[in-house]
A and B are shown apart, each in its own frame.
Chain A
Amino acid sequence: MAAMPLEGVRIADFTWVVAGPVATRILADHGAQVIKIERRIPGYFGPRKNGHQADLNRNKLSVAINMGDPRGVELARRIVRLSDIVTDNFSARVMRNWGMDYATLSALKPDIICMSMSGLGHTGPRSGYVSYGPTLQALTGFTRLMTDPDGRPAGYGYSYSDMAGGVSGALAALAALWHRRRTGRGQFIDLSQLEALTSVVGPGLLDIAVNGREQPEVDYRAQETPAAPHGVYRCMPRPEHDGRINDDRWIAIAVRTQAEWTRFVMAIGSPAWASDSRFATLFLRMRNKEALDDHVARWAAEQNSEAAMELLQRARVAAGIVANGADVCARDPQLNFRQFWRPVPLPDGSVTHVTGIPFELSSTPGSIRTNAPFVGENNEYVLGELLGIGAAERAALEANQVVWAPD
């Protein structure tokens, strides 16, 4: 097997929370050596080698440096001199206050790539504002337009903004690295998570800009997804392993073409209502959506969600269960076949799983090699081996709280 694409690339990673760690985990999965430079925040984010933190930080190294101490900053700068990329996702002032901004670091290492993934960017009247995924989703329209059918805003149940910012950051870093390999020049990337998220709102933005149209709440009638039936329909309750009755089972269906409609009708047993002239064409089905949805909902209510999905997929109709955590993480035959969730070892010798890699490179695939490090777990490697600091000096740094001992 050939080496992974980013072997030999080193990243000094100051990112935390989610967006930044998502970007650097993608780079770490493909061979980059990602060194998290971090402080201890006891208990704040949950256990380090299980669940969310394992998911975000597998394959990375950790060194615990006190950036509040000038000697800590000097250590971090020494790591930067040996690195290709420096990443952070603080608001704009933090790296500057440490003397770790692009102007300073590029003087130390002229071809360094610095990527700052702040909430609102490094310029502009609100560059100093603190923001989080939920506030960015509120500002961009996701929260307001993702409503319950009764109109109440719900939005994403999680920080999709961090995921969107994370993949944008990984791509930006790879592009800058590509450019550097051709020209020898580094640069500064000012990634505003607000802007990265706005850029994935979709064609509705042009409908606003060009047609001046107020965007409707999300439903299943958008011109960009013409289909009917189209929506989620509640299925029959299902007994779970623990005996509990789960009545939160749903199927998503999208019938787009006339051929699909014909196959859909046959698959569900050619009920009389399906030959109603109000449902004869896609145009009519979309226009008479409520009446159509009533019929489909009554059909779905009698179905087991998985069985209905199989039935419709055998008829080549787009359909899928609305998968919950267990469905997607444990019971999805496709993700399991492709071994999407990857095993990592827990400290007690057992195994847990983390998000894998959604694509397969035929000759240089990425890999999940190690679980997330405890904070400071790699102090000895980073300070000793990389920076060449002897054991006595390392002990002094610890004693002086410039470096924190591993958790």
Chain B
Amino acid sequence: MSDDRQPADGALAGLRVLDLSDHRTQMCARLFADMGADVIKIEPPGGDEARRLGPFVADEPHPDRSLFFWYYNLNKRSLTLNLETARGREIMTALAASADVVIESFGPGGGAAYGLDWPTLHRINPALILCSITSFGQDGPWRDYVADDTVLTALSGMMYVNGFPGRPPVRPLGLQAGHGSSHYGAIAIMLALHARDRDGVGQWIDLSMHASTAGMLEHVPGSYFQNGISEPRRGSLHWSRFFRVGKCRDGYLMHCMLADWTSLIEWVNSDGAAQDLTDDAWNAYAYRAANAEHVFDVLDEWVRDKPREEILERAQLLRQPYASVRRPEELFDDEHLIDRGYFVEVEHPELGRSFRYPGAPYKFSGTPWRVYRRPPIVGEHTAEILRDDLGLEADELAILAAEGVI
């Protein structure tokens, strides 16, 4: 199962993952590719539907210019295969016979039409791990319900608590039902791999995106199960009551009253803006928490006419964990991230350019996360995989292409 083209330096080097997941959870297999696994994105001829989603390079829609596809498919190889044909399914089966992991999202029981159901795969390759990702799981009253990321974040409780009281709930930035599910999927697969090390056999993972998103809540279940409370929307006030957004002359910042109270209030008072917060009652932690709205109202007035940088610099000196409420564009100029080498340059020779990508979410000292290859163009690796893995000759490949199989 090793692939000698893949440099054996990632933590997951030597693993082969076949990725048949739809646009919602392509991050799952990417997490493996980033750690050195050989991940093959199986796409229909013409390209995966994710390639039709924007944004696009220079806003020019094209299957090889989808930034949506790029983001989720860095480090993968691409093989085009028409699973609607018998020969396509045969090739799929042959690839699965020597793979470690198959990830699919055809819907409950949906892989069966392509021979990608658990009994079939388990029979041809007992060591294989199949991860089936569905919106709601393989069983239950909602198993056939349909959902996109918006609906999943709504149903799972993630959306309700974002936004202002009396106003509409606010959808998360990014496809967080997909991202959370992708991470839980990768965790589940790693667990199954560890079990395989011991038991020698693979297993089937039934991953629900709905439950995965409900597994990314913080305070909601605790408050409900302990106190029967449905947590409300509180605007930007964090449920802990220690943080709220404030507005300076030139931008927003995040107030924090979790660090040393005395030094914070001395500072505010030195600007003549502490109002009643110098009263002794405010020294009590519980009193501050109970009256957090008032504290932040006073702090808001204090910062209103000040430049944001002035507050942030001084806060850091006083070890007050204030933060800039930034736009994501500012991440690319963040000296700390740049110093750590977070952003990585990825060459796109076919466009004659390179682009900055977000990089490692974790730095491994021995087996570093890294860029092995840019996201694949449609079917870029079809020939090499079929030749190297299945021993197909050039004339056979030509016939398969002519027949619309690859």
Contacts and interface: CB of A to CB of B under 8 A. Distances in A.
A158 B191 contact: no
A148 B167 contact: yes
Contact of A254 (B148, B203, B355): B148
A10 to B, nearest CB: 14
Interface in A301-317: 313, 316-317
Interface stretch (B39-47, B88-96, B263-271, B357-365): B357-365
A392 interface: no
Interface string A205-221: 11111110111001010
Contacts of A316: 146
A156 interface: yes
A97 interface: no
Contacts of B147: 254, 318, 320
A357 to B, nearest CB: 8
Interface stretch (B175-183, B274-282, B377-385, B391-399): B175-183
Interface residues of B, number: 150
A209 B148 contact: no
Interface in B112-161: 118, 136-137, 139-143, 145-157, 159-161
A178 B203 CA distance: 17
Contacts of A187: 364-367
B185 A359 contact: yes
Contacts of A152: 164, 235-236
Contacts of A54: 222, 225-226
A209 B328 CA distance: 11
B231 interface: yes
A67 interface: no
A124 B339 contact: yes
Interface stretch (A162-170, A373-381, A399-407): A162-170
Nearest to A317: B146
Nearest to B190: A174
A154 B367 contact: no
Contact of A224 (B55, B152, B154, B236): B55
B174 A359 contact: no
B199 A2 contact: yes
Interface stretch (B78-86, B291-299, B317-325): B317-325
Contact of A364 (B192, B226, B227, B236): B192
A261 interface: no
Interface string A14-57: 00001000000010001000000000000000110011111100
Contacts of A125: 335-336, 339
A262 interface: no
A319 B152 CA distance: 9
A213 B216 CA distance: 29
B340 A175 contact: no
A134 B324 contact: no
A344 to B, nearest CB: 9
B220 A328 contact: yes
Given A146-B170, A164-B179, A131 B323 contact: yes
A405 B262 CA distance: 32
Given A5-B195, A149-B167, A185 B183 contact: no
Interface residues of A, number: 155
Given A148-B163, A154-B170, A172-B362, A318 B146 contact: yes
Given A124-B340, A132-B258, A359-B188, A144 B170 contact: no
B401 interface: no
B141 A325 contact: no
A355 B169 contact: no
A135 B254 contact: yes
A298 interface: no
Contacts of A129: 316, 321
A354 B225 contact: yes
A145 B171 CA distance: 10
A324 B193 CA distance: 36
Given A234-B168, A320-B154, A352-B225, A135 B363 contact: no
Nearest to B206: A360
Interface in B308-361: 316, 319, 321-332, 334-337, 339-340, 342-343, 355-361
A333 B224 contact: no
Contact of A191 (B191, B239, B254, B362): B362
Nearest to A340: B211
A337 B326 contact: no
B11 interface: yes
A157 B342 contact: no
Contacts of B35: 175
A190 B362 contact: yes
Of A160, A201, A328, the most chain B CB neighbours within 10 A belong to A328
A274 interface: no
A135 B323 contact: yes
A11 interface: no
Given A120-B336, A364-B195, A324 B230 contact: yes
Given A156-B162, A163-B180, A361 B254 contact: no
Contacts of B336: 120, 124-127, 194
Interface string B193-224: 11101110101111110111011111111111
A160 B162 CA distance: 11
Given A204-B328, A334-B140, A361-B192, 6 more contacts: A139-B324, A195-B340, A202-B175, A224-B54, A334-B210, A341-B225
Closest 4 CB pairs of A and B: A51-B226, A223-B54, A202-B174, A141-B328
